Structure 1
């Protein structure tokens, strides 16, 4: 699987930088908002496979590793002309092999659920997409922008909430966007990130001790984005849909969070993830 694999007229190959243009065309064809920059960011963090037909990219799949214990399986797209031929299954199987013994997480549409269940994934909860033009939001006084020097503390909080090492993801987020945080004394206890994405901006991850902190972080960031297109992806259990709708971000599509080979956590983390960096990487 590390080299080329032939299946009829479809070839699976390692996903290289020269495949980004073809991947971008695929994602646009299925209505995804990703820019070239968004593809380049996720590819830089990942290993992947492309399906080629006559040299043309007709399918993609990526595996984003989080240390040695966890990964995200993402960016699975198959060109409409190649569907029903098992290409999606072959791509997904290929990147699962890249994950090795890591726990694998992904988000699935209802159409994708049957395939992922056959491959050993189990549904855990729903992810809700909120997107719209941000309205007027009052900024709370307990949140502040923070500089890159706080990145080690941010990474530590995320590791506690997510249960795996996403240092490379946060290095990329620091290059692409900005962070806001809530402090208790000199210690950061909650944070949120924001960056450009698709046709607008995205807010996430948001990691906090409770929903009140998460709401304050969102309000602080959205207070500076009035009139802009903003997207926020939230686990359904966070209960943040109502304020997001009040702030001009109505609920849109829903996907299902799934996991394969989940590790059992013995601890109860002091913080949790209230908003995702993206559906691709959690």
Structure 2
């Protein structure tokens, strides 16, 4: 007996599927984000649907990546369906599989206006908007970032900092991101830490290359002043325009970034399935690792 929808089967994606994933993303105008896709395929669980043999274009018809944080939370990203096969239930099938494989643990994702109805149908709830800002970052006036940051010292991260970064992030994020963050020193162009005068870790942040922009994230800090102290050297003199994703719960930071030259270029919605609110301490999370990683 055949299945109701007769779609080709869902299969795992591997790093060998990188080119096909880039083609699918390019079709949607997302760009060929090779650096990010390599990380997603290496650190997450990919799901794909291949075009049938009689399809004139071939390649992948659909993709999605689930990144697990010690099986306690899962981030969902890169949900894509080829335009010629949209509205045939492919996205719904993939997302139902992702939810099933999460085994009852909550999931989070960022949704465009186009994708939001699908996620709402599956029980995802919107919990806050995110604004994407891009531009050439202008240095703040001398002394501005240090005046209210408690005298924190910002410097490049060292190998010895990693255990503290992981412990700090666990409290702030609310789930163990060791598998992902351990890859950050090689993934990022810049990885910085902020320490108080007595040596305590007060935050960390990174920036990394992504096609036509330099993405800033993750950015985790005690408060907004420490976040700004980290953000300035991360965003200053980047090889491409800086990109920062700021939540609606950080309006002052959004205004500060606008004053530094970054302009709004997009809006998405943070959505959650299986929990009433994001994990950890959201007030200490100033930027996601990426939209696909949470």
- Per the normalisation by structure 2, the TM-score is 0.86
* Structure 2 residue 273 is matched with structure 1 residue 260: yes
On the 8 A contact 1:138/1:223 being kept in 2, the answer is no
State the superposition RMSD in angstroms.
Answer: 2.3
Corresponding residue of 1:23: 21
On the 8 A contact 1:6/1:12 being kept in 2, the answer is no
Counterpart CA distance in 2 for 1:263 and 1:148 is 36
Corresponding residue of 1:118: 121
Q: Alpha-carbon deviation of 1:148?
A: 2.4
Q: Alpha-carbon deviation of 1:247?
A: 2.0
Corresponding residue of 2:228: 215
Which of 35, 45, 70 is matched with 1:67 structurally? 70
Q: Alpha-carbon deviation of 1:271?
A: 6.2
Which stretch of the first structure deviates more once superposed, 73-82 or 105-114?
A: 105-114
On the 8 A contact 1:160/1:270 being kept in 2, the answer is no
Name the CA shift for 1:61/1:269 in 2 (closer, same or farther; >3 Å): closer
Counterpart CA distance in 1 for 2:171 and 2:59 is 41
* Structure 2 residue 187 is matched with structure 1 residue 176: yes
Structure 1 segments unaligned to the other structure (5+ residues): none
Counterpart CA distance in 1 for 2:75 and 2:64 is 11
What SS does structure 1 have at the residue aligned with 2:183?
Answer: helix
Name the CA shift for 1:209/1:271 in 2 (closer, same or farther; >3 Å): farther
Name the CA shift for 1:264/1:248 in 2 (closer, same or farther; >3 Å): closer
* Structure 2 residue 150 is matched with structure 1 residue 152: no
**1:8-61 CA distance string (max 9 Å, x none):** 353321112222211101111111134222111111111121111125201101
Corresponding residue of 1:132: 135
What SS does structure 1 have at the residue aligned with 2:182?
Answer: helix
Corresponding residue of 2:149: none
What SS does structure 2 have at the residue aligned with 1:182?
Answer: strand
Counterpart CA distance in 2 for 1:112 and 1:106 is 11
What SS does structure 2 have at the residue aligned with 1:68?
Answer: coil
Corresponding residue of 2:288: 276
Structure with the largest fraction of strand: 1
What SS does structure 2 have at the residue aligned with 1:160?
Answer: helix
Corresponding residue of 1:42: 40
Counterpart CA distance in 1 for 2:250 and 2:31 is 25
Name segments (4+ residues, structure 1) moved above 6 Å. none
Q: Alpha-carbon deviation of 1:7?
A: 4.3
Corresponding residue of 1:234: 246
On the 8 A contact 2:217/2:287 being kept in 1, the answer is yes
On the 8 A contact 2:71/2:102 being kept in 1, the answer is no
On the 8 A contact 1:137/1:222 being kept in 2, the answer is no
State the aligned residue count: 276
